[in-house]
Amino acid sequence: MSSTYQSLRDRQVASIERILNLNHVPQETELHHESPSSNGLIPKSTPILNSDGEPIWKVLVFDGLGSDVISSVLRVNDLRGWGITIHLNINANRHPIPDVPVIYFVEPTAKNLELITKDLQAGLYSPAYINFLTSISRPLLEDFASQTAQAGTSESISQVYDQYLNFIVSEPNLFSLGMGKDTYWAMNSAQISDDEMDANVDRIMSGLFSVAVTMGTIPIIRCPKGGAAEMIAAKLDRKLRDHILNAKDNLFSTKTSANGAVATSSRPVLIIVDRNVDLVPMLSHSWTYQSLIHDVLSMRLNRITVEMPVDEADPSKGSTKKSYDLTQSDFFWNKNASVPFPQVAEDIDAELTRYKDDAAEVTKKTGANSIEDLQNDTGASAQHLKAAITLLPELRERKALLDMHMNIATALLKGIKDRQLDNFFQLEEDIKKQTKAQILELINDSDKGKEAADKLRLFIIWFLSTEQEVSRADMERFEEALKKSEVDITPLAYIRRHVDLVREVTRMTMITSAPTQPQPTQSTSAELFRGFSSISSRLTDRFKDAGLGANFDNLISGVKNFLPANKDLTLTKITESLMDPQNASTSALQKTEGFLYFDPRSANARGTVPPTAKDARSGTAQSRGIEASFGQRRQGFSEAIVFTVGGGSMDEYGNLQEWAKRTSGGASGAAVARKRVVYGSTELVDAGSFLGELGKLGREST
């Protein structure tokens, strides 16, 4: 069945490609008479042609969110393949390109509608295919119709579609709503007005509705009582319920809907939680490839920015920034994103060896000295030269990817060594065992890394996790030591003032569990992770061959080698208790026992009219949803969408994927159903940005 499974990214890409194809839906004959509802897949589009049999060339115009949605999954070459000759921001100055079709991919705002009307009135493009990222409200649609009538541009508009794509997909099962890196502050600040809070809740509800539409299924919604999570769940339940009852064209019907999504046979569970359920993953140091990149380097929309020296041999010449794009076809990233960094280093070595062997095999047959020489070598036999030229593109692409990941690994290693991230990660693995004296000693140690913020992160994690009593005098000593380290301690003001809310919630929900797999023996661990020291000479040779300099050996020395403990995070345990209650721990089941239950398809599991933020803050909100029955509490699911309100963590995403992989039946045909988990958040937030949010809340508290 895995061959017919489409991830959230697959479905979003298919929807975007259909938009780029002027919303052309393949006819039944093009689908080989196969009903799309038979397997729940979005039908694959092929570029439509004009009357001369040539591709239809088009202009793409998007706003900020539209740009983010597309650029996270498609690159310029992909757009060109669908006939996009130029792509422009709607707010930029644009020149006329008469009689060329334009695709608008924008949010339905009054400003965007005004700009579209001005474009068409000025004759910049024609005809226009207007695609809104989410459904346009009736008042805005009426205003747009009025503007169009007054400007006389109705004949220039070919299509107007609601597309339900106002979410950003970074990985196959990872999405965010692009709400900015201050959402945690906005959802917890007393300075935010009720109207602003309601707008945030509506934005989240709209994004989750779009995810459900793209996945082609109506989820069962579970959330804890109280807080923003319950408000969002109630509003989403009402929107889904109203849509099923009132929409003429049900987006979740068995037929292919306007956005191409098709209803699937099984329904997922949508788990909505507030960020306060566990703050630790937002601040923790990780040891996996993708989490380290998110923490150490600048990464946004699958684009990584690396700072590299202009001249490796002469650091005084300064540095330059280079950007790399992670794509779906990146075999190395697909294989290594979620694995511990020492294993990534070893795999670079293995892949480079494989590349050199393949390149040597090709050159040996042709008699050339290297791959580069093949372009100018006329002495090779025609047959061997033809075979070599056939292999050249694949070899070049593989070499380019390995060069990119070697540069990223070099930057990561420098960050690991400068900040001693291996030490911080190892301490956090057993954070509860650390005493007050040990934590204070670490903060006072000037040799522990070059970034004092790492010490603050470690201290907050310890403070939220420890069962030791921390007196006011203890806290003053910790704060004084952190000040000497020249770190901004305003985040502590929020953590300390809201200790009952934050620390107790975190400690209660930090569902402890023993490692889910027996730890390997020392010899097995040594075999699995032979350590940076053991591969440094070989890897250094590879990096030298790639022209990355001779300093790699110095970087790699002294970095610790260890096997991370296989532990499930709190959110993973909550997910397990709701997806697989038969195998979940008692503590996890107790935590989710009181979760509310919404089923938009059921007449019973329904709520009252969703309250406003003012009602929720004043305590006058009515209870909504239903208390789950025993059967509903023990209902299992094979698919889940897990959403955190107030920021998401790469650690949580990786941990959820690892749990789903570990507990599924696998490829051996076991009776255990394959589990799939989609992880989403208001925004993926790195630890530095989250400290900034805590700092803003801390300044409000003082």
- Lowest-confidence pick of 315-329, 498-512, 661-675: 498-512
* Listed residue (78, 84, 72, 77) closest to 9, CA to CA: 72
Give the CA distances from residue 693 to residues 292, 295, 493, 509, 646, in Å, rounded to whole numbers and listed in that order: 21, 16, 12, 22, 10
Average pLDDT over residues 662-669: 61
Is there a shared CATH topology between the 173-278+569-679 domain and the 289-419 domain? Answer: no
| Domain 173-278+569-679: CATH class, spelled out | alpha beta
DSSP string, 215-280: HTSPPEEEE-SSHHHHHHHHHHHHHHHHHHHH-SS-TTSSS--TTS----SSPPEEEEEEGGG--H
The predicted structure's pLDDT at residue 175: 96
Instruction: Give 356's pLDDT tier (boundaries 50, 70, 90).
Output: confident
* Listed residue (224, 277, 208) closest to 627, CA to CA: 224
Q: Show me where the domains of the chain are located.
A: 8-166, 173-278+569-679, 289-419, 420-509+535-568
3-state SS, residue 129: strand
Rounded CA separation 78/81 (Å): 5
Q: Is the pLDDT of residue 159 over 90?
A: yes
The mean of the pLDDT values for the chain is 80
The reported pTM is 0.85
Phi-psi label, residue 531: left if phi above 0, alpha if psi -120 to 50, beta otherwise: left
The predicted structure's pLDDT at residue 693: 94
Amino acid (1-letter code) at residue 272: I
Give the number of residues written for the chain.
702
- Lowest-confidence pick of 3-12, 148-157, 522-531: 522-531
Report the share of the chain in percent with pLDDT over 90: 41
CA 438 to mean position of chain CA atoms: 35
Contacts of 153 (CB under 8 A, 6+ apart): 117, 120, 121
3-state SS, residue 638: coil
Amino acid (1-letter code) at residue 637: F
394 or 543, higher pLDDT: 394
Rounded CA separation 586/339 (Å): 29
Instruction: Give 549's pLDDT tier (boundaries 50, 70, 90).
Output: very low
Contacts of 614 (CB under 8 A, 6+ apart): 194
Average pLDDT over residues 409-418: 88
Task: List, for residues 42-85, the tens digit of each pLDDT value.
Answer: 656 677 777 677 778 999 999 999 999 999 999 888 899 888 99
Task: List, for residues 293-311, the tens digit of each pLDDT value.
Answer: 999 998 888 899 888 777 7
Instruction: Give 497's pLDDT tier (boundaries 50, 70, 90).
Output: confident
522 or 217, higher pLDDT: 217
Which CATH code for domain 8-166?
3.40.50.2060
Q: Is the pLDDT of residue 362 over 80?
A: no
DSSP string, 572-587: HHHHHHHH-TTTS-HH
Strand partners, 597: 222, 626
Task: Say which CATH superfamily domain 289-419 falls into.
Answer: Sec1/Munc18 (SM) protein, domain 3a (3.90.830.10)
Joined tokens for residue 419: 């900040």
The predicted structure's pLDDT at residue 530: 40
Instruction: Give 524's pLDDT tier (boundaries 50, 70, 90).
Output: very low
The predicted structure's pLDDT at residue 429: 86
Q: Is the pLDDT of residue 182 over 70?
A: yes
Task: List, for residues 460-482, the tens digit of each pLDDT value.
Answer: 999 988 888 888 899 999 999 99
Q: Is the pLDDT of residue 176 over 90?
A: yes
Q: Is the pLDDT of residue 655 over 80?
A: yes
Rounded CA separation 651/644 (Å): 13
310 burial level (CB within 10 Å; 0-12, 13-18, 19+): exposed
The predicted structure's pLDDT at residue 121: 93
